[in-house]
Amino acid sequence: MAKGKDKQGNTLARILKAYSSGDLDDKLKPVEKKPGKQAHPRGTKRARDGSPVEETHAITKPKEPRGVEAGLKERQEKRIKSENTKSTPNPKPFGKGAQKGQKPNPLLEARKALPIWPHAQSIRAALKKNNVLVLTGETGSGKSTQVPQFLLSEPWCQKCIAVTQPRRMAAISLARRVAQEMSCPPPGRVPGAKVGYSVRFDNATGPHTRVKFLTEGMLLQEMVRDREMEEYSAIIVDEVHERSVNVDLILGFLKNLLSDLENGRLKKRKNPLKVVVMSATVDVGALVQFFGEGSKESEDTQQTLHSDVSSTLVGTQQNQDISTCYIEGRQYPVQTIYLPEPTQNWVESALIHIFQIHRKEPLPGDILVFLTGREKIEKLEKLVNEYAEGLEDSLPKLLVLPLFSALPQHAQQRIFMPTPHRTRKVILATNVAETSVTVPGVRYVIDCGKSKIKEYRNALGLESLLAKPISKSAADQRKGRAGREAPGKCYRLYTEDGYNGFADRTQPEILRCDLSHALLTMVAAGIGLRDVFSFPFLDPPPRGAIERAVALLHDIGAVTEEAEIANDALTMAKFPLTPALSRVLIEAATPERNCLEDVVDIVSALSTEDIFLNLANEERKKEDAEAARRGFYRRSGDHMTLLAAVQGYLEETSDRKAWCAKHFISHRAMQNVVKVRKQLLELCQRLSLVPNSSSSVDPPTANASPEEHTKRVLQCFARGFMRNIARLMPDGSYQTLVSKQTVAIHPSSVLYGRKTDYLLFTEFVFTNRAWVKGVSAPDVGALEEVMRKVVLGDGDGE
């Protein structure tokens, strides 16, 4: 190593040391540091999921035909048609008693058959009386489609009703369904359309929209723009039990808004705002307490509510402003079968159960297996196919279908295709099948009892992705998947004691994520930095987590030394990006860097799924892919490599799909990159980060050499990701400068296996070890300039 370089490195390390010593943190006024600083990180290392464990019992290879009865019943197999929209709760036979002679309206009859239908009057009455209704309804009750229609003709409902959904697909399909039921034109900008939807990249609302389905993120953005929600008469928050960060923010904002309205602090609204909170499971008590001022402990609430299973409405004494309502679901019984003894090797156990079910149970009845991730899915897929070859001819065939979200769309669609004759489907799925995708035809569920969960470690600024035991509610959700069409069975690959040891509910995301983005949103909505500590969270995150997020925002210049909101913070909040990536964009727009367009391309690629297809399984293709992509690879690392790939795609104008196939690049991902890129460029334009096109602009860094250009781009990333710098150690490992964490370059990086003095990375995940992804190798000088400017406050960075 050259002496000069080493010296420079030391300078850099010194700067960062000063930086991390807390001098700066102390200047943040609202942060009350506890005397005992978090000295050492909580144990992050865990045994890798599914690490080799001594096998306790050998698997019996199915060779002798045993199940005679299995062959007899297969004739009757008949696939029940089912739609993959949550908006059609069990198209069961309805309207048998529909009066003949009158013109039959099948849609209306279907609505009348929904469990929620008889409750329409009491729901209207509840909202006439109170402004808040907490409605719990199980799967298939029809609440998402019917409640907005029940309310539409109420006298207080002059404006629009918003219905939030956690997922875009659900928002769109619900809007289509409700438009159909209301005999309106399908959602769109046409004047007649009363039902619309609004999701990222797709706004299908018009001047006459009365019911608007939108994703939680979209409503949040609207709240930031107009905190009085003038446009709406009612806001329905659906699927609250999933407890996304966004839904928690929405609930907090709504609570603030309701109390401001009640206390006359807001003047714009004429009519009160009605809020309906809908949830699948029994968090009623918590929600009622949350909206019911929160000051009084309402011990009786829970009991009162639980005794109210059959009737509809309860006004509790403590919380007179809140109505509650319970709607029964429509679900067939599912038998639960536990393991007698716990097992470590649940992949093998799943294998045994699949074949036991297949031998014992008649068709139809597909099997849905919940596993943790792609690796286990592919392992089990191979095993099942292997053992299926030994199946006697009298038994039906097995069709194994993997299902995880990284799977190409056409492969995911296979689960909806009709099952071939005398065949049983075995779907091996991740959590996608728990909420996002409804797999038709399932009567048997096998649940491994684990799922991979992302958690953020405040002390390290590191997220971990580890397989952990699921909660009781998640286990019950999985089990419910067996009873959508007929009575079913659920095999749990754990003991009953194991189940009893699960947490009741999955920990809400807000308690296990980096809060900097949430804080930025709150700040943009007019909440002062000091007030974030008293924001009404349904589950308040620990103070330390908020402090850490404030410190992060300070890192990137969203919070000033005086603990005030910086102007840049409001700009950053307007980007659909993490605060760090927003900072990178702002940096790229400065005259010294002048590389906004290229940085937008890279940021677009970083904020979508991986554009490089993963071909780990296909050995031969892997080498081809390496060769096909080599043209994009850049010495400086992943960021410039992404830029080359995105630009290559943009330059291809004839057949981009073929271009992607040729270069082993995901077309789906690239289409998304282009959408994000367009959106970001428009935002930059609107936020005046980009000079008006009328003025004569130099092409980006026209005067810079390629090396200088790369340096500038990486300096932008260094500005957003100051803590994400690691240094090569004498033993060949890398250690982060600030938190002294040993990290390894992820195998997906173009720098994998390379040694370089410094690494700058944009992602940091702990799985079986601490990996860094999105890695570049900047010049030390480039890093130092940024650090000096930021940490030491040097005006000009020289």
Binding site for DNA (CB under 7 A): 166-169, 199-200, 215-218, 220-221, 225, 244, 372-375, 404-406, 430-432, 436-437, 451-454, 465, 509, 517, 574-578, 607, 610, 614, 616, 622, 679, 683, 686, 746-748, 752, 767-768, 771
Q: How far is the CB of 468 from DNA (least distance, A)?
A: 10
- Smaller CB distance to DNA: residue 59 or 465? 465
Lookup result for tokens 């009057």: 121
Q: How far is the CB of 153 from DNA (least distance, A)?
A: 29
Residue-wise over 316-338: b if at least 16 C-beta within 10 A, else e? bebbebbbbbbbebbbeebebeb
Q: How far is the CB of 578 from DNA (least distance, A)?
A: 6
Q: Which amino acid is at 329?
A: G
Q: How far is the CB of 36 from DNA (least distance, A)?
A: 31
- Smaller CB distance to DNA: residue 226 or 655? 226
Q: How far is the CB of 24 from DNA (least distance, A)?
A: 25
Which DSSP string corresponds to 585-652? Answer: HHHHTSTTT--HHHHHHHHHHHTSS-SBPP-TT-HHHHHHHHHHHGGG--TTBHHHHHHHHHHHHHH-
Structure tokens at 2: 């050259």
Q: How far is the CB of 244 from DNA (least distance, A)?
A: 6
Q: Are 292 and 102 in contact (CB under 8 A)?
A: no
The closest of 513, 524, 510 to 222, measured between CA atoms, is 524
The closest of 739, 742, 729 to 771, measured between CA atoms, is 742
- Smaller CB distance to DNA: residue 154 or 610? 610
Q: Which residues pair with 726 in a beta bridge?
A: 736, 759
Q: How far is the CB of 746 from DNA (least distance, A)?
A: 6
- Smaller CB distance to DNA: residue 144 or 701? 144
- Smaller CB distance to DNA: residue 590 or 767? 767
- Smaller CB distance to DNA: residue 288 or 580? 580
C-alpha pair distances (Å), 180 with each of 96, 183, 508: 22, 5, 35
Q: How far is Cα 471 from Cα 495, in angstroms, rounded to an integer?
A: 14
Helix locations, 415-455, DSSP H: 432-435
- Smaller CB distance to DNA: residue 273 or 518? 518
- Smaller CB distance to DNA: residue 288 or 772? 772
The closest of 373, 482, 502 to 428, measured between CA atoms, is 373
Q: How far is Cα 75 from Cα 47, in angstroms, rounded to an integer?
A: 47
Q: Are 274 and 234 in contact (CB under 8 A)?
A: yes
- Smaller CB distance to DNA: residue 48 or 360? 48
C-alpha pair distances (Å), 190 with each of 148, 200, 203: 20, 19, 12
Q: How far is the CB of 436 from DNA (least distance, A)?
A: 4
Q: How far is the CB of 407 from DNA (least distance, A)?
A: 8
Q: Which amino acid is at 674?
A: V
Peptide bond into 333 cis (omega under 30): no
- Smaller CB distance to DNA: residue 109 or 610? 610
Q: How far is the CB of 49 from DNA (least distance, A)?
A: 9
Q: Which residues pair with 307 in a beta bridge?
A: none
Cβ neighbours of residue 318 under 8 Å, at least 6 residues apart? 292, 296, 298, 300, 301
3-state secondary structure of 55: coil
- Smaller CB distance to DNA: residue 419 or 431? 431
Q: How far is the CB of 505 from DNA (least distance, A)?
A: 16
- Smaller CB distance to DNA: residue 166 or 188? 166
Q: How far is Cα 155 from Cα 145, in angstroms, rounded to an integer?
A: 20
Helix locations, 307-423, DSSP H: 346-360, 374-388, 409-413
- Smaller CB distance to DNA: residue 301 or 451? 451
Q: How far is the CB of 773 from DNA (least distance, A)?
A: 8
